Amino acid sequence: MLGQDTNALLISTRNLTPTSRNFTVFGLPKAAIYPVPL
């Protein structure tokens, strides 16, 4: 699932393995995604 605030792209995942499942969340700073224009 995706979300965002002013500084970050926010992501959560549901991960399935052959024997189990787990859940993670993380953020990606927008400053790292969108380079400063030259």
Partner 1 sequence: MSFSTFNVASLTAPVTNAGQPMISSPFSFFLAAVPGTGYRLFRLTNSGGAGATLTLQATISSPFKAPTGEANQPGTSSTVDSSDGNILASPYFDGTSIWFTHVFDLVGFLTVRYGAVKVSTNTVATAVAFHSGTSDDFNPSLAVGLNPSGTSVYLNWAFTDAPARTATSDVIDALPAGQPIGNLIGTGAVYAAGSITSQTRFGDFSSVAIDPQVPGGTCAVAAQQYFGVGGTWKTRLARVGTCQPPVLVPDMRNDSLAEAD
Query: Which residues sit at the interface with partner 1, rule CB under 8 A?
Result: 1-8, 10-12, 14, 22-33
Query: Which of 31, 23, 25 has its CA nearest to residue 7?
Result: 31
Cβ at position 7, least distance to partner 1 in Å: 4
β-sheet bridge partners, residue 15? 22
Nearer to partner 1, 14 or 37 (CB): 14
DSSP code of residue 30? H
Question: Judging by DSSP bridges, how do beta strands 21-29 and 2-4 pair with one another?
Answer: unpaired
Cβ at position 15, least distance to partner 1 in Å: 10
Nearer to partner 1, 2 or 38 (CB): 2
